[in-house]
Homo-oligomer: A and B are copies of this chain.
Amino acid sequence: MAGTDHRIAQVAEDNTGPVVVLVAPQLGENIGFAARAMLNFGLSRLRLVAPRDGWPNERAIAAASGADQVIERAEIFEDTAAAIADLDFVLALSARGRDMVKDVFTPRAAAAEQKKIEQSGARCGWLFGPERTGLSNDDISRASALVTVACNPGYASLNLAQAVLLMGYEYYQAEAAPEPYFHKTNDGRLASMQEFDLMIQHLETELEKGGFLRPPEKAPDMMRNIRNLFHKARLTDQEVRSLRGIIKCLVHFRKP
Protein backbone atom coordinates (compact mmCIF):
# COMPACT_ATOMS: atom_id res chain seq x y z
CA MET A 1 0.00 0.00 0.00
CA ALA A 2 2.94 2.27 0.60
CA GLY A 3 3.25 2.47 -3.15
CA THR A 4 -0.24 3.80 -3.71
CA ASP A 5 -0.95 5.70 -0.52
CA HIS A 6 0.84 8.99 -0.24
CA ARG A 7 -0.38 9.91 3.19
CA ILE A 8 2.29 10.03 5.83
CA ALA A 9 2.36 6.97 8.05
CA GLN A 10 0.09 7.65 10.97
CA VAL A 11 1.54 6.85 14.33
CA ALA A 12 0.05 6.18 17.69
CA GLU A 13 1.02 9.61 18.96
CA ASP A 14 -1.49 11.18 16.62
CA ASN A 15 -4.30 12.95 18.44
CA THR A 16 -6.72 13.26 15.56
CA GLY A 17 -9.37 10.84 14.37
CA PRO A 18 -12.29 9.35 16.23
CA VAL A 19 -11.99 7.99 19.76
CA VAL A 20 -12.71 4.27 20.06
CA VAL A 21 -14.58 3.43 23.26
CA LEU A 22 -14.86 -0.22 24.34
CA VAL A 23 -17.51 -0.63 27.01
CA ALA A 24 -16.81 -3.41 29.56
CA PRO A 25 -14.65 -5.51 27.21
CA GLN A 26 -14.27 -9.07 28.50
CA LEU A 27 -11.23 -10.60 26.82
CA GLY A 28 -7.81 -8.96 26.84
CA GLU A 29 -7.12 -10.52 23.43
CA ASN A 30 -10.02 -8.65 21.93
CA ILE A 31 -8.73 -5.35 23.28
CA GLY A 32 -5.36 -6.12 21.69
CA PHE A 33 -6.91 -7.10 18.35
CA ALA A 34 -9.07 -3.99 18.42
CA ALA A 35 -5.93 -1.87 18.96
CA ARG A 36 -4.34 -3.49 15.89
CA ALA A 37 -7.43 -2.91 13.77
CA MET A 38 -7.40 0.73 14.88
CA LEU A 39 -3.77 1.29 13.96
CA ASN A 40 -4.28 -0.47 10.59
CA PHE A 41 -6.44 2.48 9.72
CA GLY A 42 -4.45 5.17 11.47
CA LEU A 43 -6.48 5.44 14.68
CA SER A 44 -4.83 5.58 18.07
CA ARG A 45 -7.19 6.98 20.69
CA LEU A 46 -8.54 4.09 22.74
CA ARG A 47 -10.74 4.37 25.81
CA LEU A 48 -11.91 1.51 28.00
CA VAL A 49 -14.91 1.57 30.27
CA ALA A 50 -14.51 -0.82 33.23
CA PRO A 51 -12.59 -3.64 31.50
CA ARG A 52 -13.62 -6.92 33.13
CA ASP A 53 -10.11 -8.15 33.92
CA GLY A 54 -8.73 -4.83 35.14
CA TRP A 55 -5.92 -2.77 33.68
CA PRO A 56 -3.17 -3.08 32.54
CA ASN A 57 -3.88 -6.43 30.92
CA GLU A 58 -0.98 -8.62 29.80
CA ARG A 59 -3.08 -10.49 27.25
CA ALA A 60 -4.13 -7.25 25.63
CA ILE A 61 -0.50 -6.16 25.30
CA ALA A 62 0.53 -9.54 23.85
CA ALA A 63 -2.31 -9.57 21.30
CA ALA A 64 -1.62 -6.00 20.21
CA SER A 65 1.78 -6.90 18.73
CA GLY A 66 3.07 -3.79 16.99
CA ALA A 67 0.13 -1.72 18.14
CA ASP A 68 1.16 -1.71 21.78
CA GLN A 69 1.54 2.07 21.78
CA VAL A 70 -2.22 2.22 21.34
CA ILE A 71 -2.66 -0.04 24.37
CA GLU A 72 -0.17 1.95 26.44
CA ARG A 73 -2.01 5.19 25.78
CA ALA A 74 -5.46 3.73 26.50
CA GLU A 75 -7.51 5.74 29.00
CA ILE A 76 -9.69 4.04 31.60
CA PHE A 77 -13.13 5.27 32.69
CA GLU A 78 -15.65 4.10 35.24
CA ASP A 79 -18.70 4.54 33.11
CA THR A 80 -19.75 5.31 29.56
CA ALA A 81 -20.96 8.80 30.33
CA ALA A 82 -17.51 9.80 31.58
CA ALA A 83 -15.78 8.17 28.62
CA ILE A 84 -17.68 10.19 26.06
CA ALA A 85 -18.17 13.40 28.01
CA ASP A 86 -15.78 15.48 25.89
CA LEU A 87 -17.03 14.14 22.53
CA ASP A 88 -19.57 15.88 20.32
CA PHE A 89 -20.85 13.10 18.05
CA VAL A 90 -20.91 9.46 19.09
CA LEU A 91 -21.86 6.46 16.98
CA ALA A 92 -22.95 3.27 18.77
CA LEU A 93 -22.33 -0.08 17.08
CA SER A 94 -25.21 -2.49 17.36
CA ALA A 95 -25.73 -5.84 15.68
CA ARG A 96 -29.48 -5.56 15.93
CA GLY A 97 -32.08 -2.86 15.56
CA ARG A 98 -33.29 -1.36 18.82
CA ASP A 99 -36.71 -0.19 19.69
CA MET A 100 -35.60 3.40 19.67
CA VAL A 101 -36.17 6.34 17.41
CA LYS A 102 -32.61 6.87 16.32
CA ASP A 103 -30.80 7.19 13.04
CA VAL A 104 -29.23 3.95 11.87
CA PHE A 105 -26.30 4.21 9.51
CA THR A 106 -24.28 1.68 7.60
CA PRO A 107 -20.55 1.98 8.40
CA ARG A 108 -20.06 3.71 5.06
CA ALA A 109 -22.83 6.24 5.53
CA ALA A 110 -21.65 6.80 9.08
CA ALA A 111 -18.11 7.57 7.88
CA ALA A 112 -19.41 10.05 5.32
CA GLU A 113 -21.66 11.70 7.89
CA GLN A 114 -18.88 11.91 10.41
CA LYS A 115 -16.49 13.50 7.92
CA LYS A 116 -19.04 16.22 7.34
CA ILE A 117 -19.60 16.75 11.02
CA GLU A 118 -15.87 16.85 11.74
CA GLN A 119 -15.49 19.76 9.35
CA SER A 120 -17.31 21.88 11.88
CA GLY A 121 -14.66 20.94 14.45
CA ALA A 122 -16.76 18.34 16.24
CA ARG A 123 -14.98 15.61 18.21
CA CYS A 124 -16.27 12.15 17.32
CA GLY A 125 -16.22 8.72 18.88
CA TRP A 126 -17.46 5.17 18.42
CA LEU A 127 -19.00 3.05 21.13
CA PHE A 128 -18.66 -0.76 21.17
CA GLY A 129 -20.36 -3.03 23.71
CA PRO A 130 -19.18 -6.10 25.63
CA GLU A 131 -18.58 -9.24 23.53
CA ARG A 132 -21.45 -11.30 24.87
CA THR A 133 -24.27 -8.82 25.18
CA GLY A 134 -23.47 -5.76 23.11
CA LEU A 135 -24.32 -2.26 24.33
CA SER A 136 -27.07 -1.77 26.89
CA ASN A 137 -30.04 0.31 25.88
CA ASP A 138 -28.79 2.91 28.34
CA ASP A 139 -25.48 3.22 26.54
CA ILE A 140 -27.21 3.19 23.17
CA SER A 141 -29.37 6.04 24.29
CA ARG A 142 -26.25 8.11 24.98
CA ALA A 143 -25.13 7.88 21.37
CA SER A 144 -25.91 10.35 18.59
CA ALA A 145 -26.80 7.57 16.16
CA LEU A 146 -26.57 3.82 15.61
CA VAL A 147 -24.42 1.89 13.15
CA THR A 148 -25.21 -1.64 12.02
CA VAL A 149 -23.30 -3.77 9.55
CA ALA A 150 -25.39 -5.51 6.90
CA CYS A 151 -24.35 -9.15 6.89
CA ASN A 152 -25.64 -12.72 6.63
CA PRO A 153 -28.66 -12.79 8.96
CA GLY A 154 -28.02 -16.50 9.47
CA TYR A 155 -24.55 -15.82 10.93
CA ALA A 156 -24.34 -12.25 12.07
CA SER A 157 -21.83 -12.59 14.91
CA LEU A 158 -19.09 -10.12 14.05
CA ASN A 159 -16.56 -10.04 16.83
CA LEU A 160 -15.43 -6.90 18.60
CA ALA A 161 -12.18 -6.40 16.69
CA GLN A 162 -13.92 -7.07 13.37
CA ALA A 163 -16.50 -4.39 14.10
CA VAL A 164 -13.68 -1.95 14.96
CA LEU A 165 -11.89 -3.01 11.76
CA LEU A 166 -14.89 -2.32 9.53
CA MET A 167 -15.50 1.09 11.10
CA GLY A 168 -11.82 2.00 10.79
CA TYR A 169 -11.75 0.75 7.21
CA GLU A 170 -14.74 2.84 6.14
CA TYR A 171 -13.48 5.91 7.93
CA TYR A 172 -10.08 5.57 6.26
CA GLN A 173 -11.58 4.98 2.80
CA ALA A 174 -13.83 8.00 3.20
CA GLU A 175 -10.70 10.07 3.63
CA ALA A 176 -8.90 8.39 0.76
CA ALA A 177 -8.58 9.66 -2.78
CA PRO A 178 -11.81 10.25 -4.67
CA GLU A 179 -10.92 7.64 -7.26
CA PRO A 180 -11.97 4.10 -6.45
CA TYR A 181 -9.47 2.61 -8.82
CA PHE A 182 -5.71 2.92 -8.95
CA HIS A 183 -3.88 2.33 -12.13
CA LYS A 184 -1.15 -0.16 -12.71
CA THR A 185 1.53 -1.11 -10.24
CA ASN A 186 4.43 0.05 -12.39
CA ASP A 187 4.78 3.17 -14.45
CA GLY A 188 4.79 1.92 -18.01
CA ARG A 189 2.97 4.13 -20.47
CA LEU A 190 0.21 3.01 -22.78
CA ALA A 191 1.42 2.15 -26.25
CA SER A 192 0.50 4.68 -28.90
CA MET A 193 -1.99 3.70 -31.55
CA GLN A 194 0.83 3.72 -34.05
CA GLU A 195 2.97 1.33 -32.00
CA PHE A 196 -0.08 -0.85 -31.55
CA ASP A 197 -0.81 -0.73 -35.26
CA LEU A 198 2.68 -1.67 -36.32
CA MET A 199 2.53 -4.70 -34.04
CA ILE A 200 -0.81 -5.76 -35.52
CA GLN A 201 0.52 -5.26 -39.05
CA HIS A 202 3.54 -7.36 -38.19
CA LEU A 203 1.26 -10.11 -36.90
CA GLU A 204 -1.01 -9.84 -39.92
CA THR A 205 1.89 -10.20 -42.35
CA GLU A 206 3.03 -13.35 -40.62
CA LEU A 207 -0.47 -14.80 -40.37
CA GLU A 208 -0.94 -14.22 -44.06
CA LYS A 209 2.29 -16.02 -44.88
CA GLY A 210 1.21 -18.86 -42.63
CA GLY A 211 -2.15 -19.23 -44.33
CA PHE A 212 -4.15 -18.35 -41.20
CA LEU A 213 -6.32 -15.67 -42.79
CA ARG A 214 -8.56 -17.91 -44.88
CA PRO A 215 -10.90 -17.87 -46.63
CA PRO A 216 -9.79 -14.43 -47.91
CA GLU A 217 -13.25 -12.87 -47.57
CA LYS A 218 -13.16 -13.61 -43.84
CA ALA A 219 -9.69 -12.11 -43.33
CA PRO A 220 -10.81 -8.54 -42.51
CA ASP A 221 -13.18 -9.84 -39.87
CA MET A 222 -10.53 -12.07 -38.37
CA MET A 223 -8.08 -9.19 -38.14
CA ARG A 224 -10.70 -7.00 -36.49
CA ASN A 225 -11.22 -9.64 -33.85
CA ILE A 226 -7.49 -9.88 -33.25
CA ARG A 227 -7.25 -6.11 -32.90
CA ASN A 228 -10.09 -6.11 -30.41
CA LEU A 229 -8.50 -8.86 -28.41
CA PHE A 230 -5.27 -6.91 -27.98
CA HIS A 231 -7.00 -3.59 -27.41
CA LYS A 232 -8.74 -5.06 -24.41
CA ALA A 233 -5.32 -5.54 -22.81
CA ARG A 234 -4.56 -1.79 -22.90
CA LEU A 235 -0.99 -2.64 -23.78
CA THR A 236 2.00 -0.63 -22.66
CA ASP A 237 4.83 0.26 -25.03
CA GLN A 238 6.98 -2.41 -23.39
CA GLU A 239 4.30 -5.04 -23.90
CA VAL A 240 3.98 -4.14 -27.55
CA ARG A 241 7.73 -4.63 -27.92
CA SER A 242 7.47 -7.98 -26.14
CA LEU A 243 4.71 -9.11 -28.46
CA ARG A 244 6.78 -8.17 -31.50
CA GLY A 245 9.66 -10.17 -30.05
CA ILE A 246 7.33 -13.10 -29.55
CA ILE A 247 6.08 -12.95 -33.13
CA LYS A 248 9.63 -12.74 -34.43
CA CYS A 249 10.67 -15.68 -32.32
CA LEU A 250 7.75 -17.82 -33.37
CA VAL A 251 8.34 -17.34 -37.09
CA HIS A 252 12.11 -17.26 -36.97
CA PHE A 253 12.70 -20.73 -38.27
CA ARG A 254 9.81 -20.80 -40.65
CA LYS A 255 10.68 -21.97 -44.13
CA PRO A 256 10.60 -19.30 -46.82
| Distance A96 CA – B173 CA, assembled complex (angstroms) | 17
A interface majority secondary structure: loop
A97 with B185: CB separation less than 8 A: yes
Per-position binary interface string of chain A over residues 1-23, scored 1 when its CB falls under 8 Å from any chain B CB and 0 otherwise? 11111011111000000000000
Q: Which of B101, B176, B206, B239 contacts A150 (CB 8 A)?
A: B176
Instruction: Please state if B185 and A108 are interface contacts (CB–CB under 8 Å).
Output: no
Q: Any chain B CB within 8 A of the CB of A226?
A: yes
Number of A interface residues, CB 8 Å?
Answer: 90
One digit per residue, 1 when the CB lies within 8 angstroms of any chain B CB and 0 when it does not, for chain A 156-169 equals: 11100010011001
Shortest A195–chain B CB gap in Å is 14
A232 to nearest B CB, angstroms? 4
Known contacts A40-B157, A155-B40, A156-B1; is-contact A207 B169 (Cβ 8 Å):
no
Residues in B whose Cβ lies below 8 Å from that of A185: 97-102, 104, 146
* A26 adjacent to chain B (CB < 8 Å): no
15 of the cross-chain contacts (CB-CB < 8 Å) are A1-B148, A3-B97, A4-B150, A5-B153, A7-B153, A40-B151, A101-B188, A104-B183, A106-B173, A151-B172, A162-B162, A206-B249, A206-B250, A229-B239, A232-B232
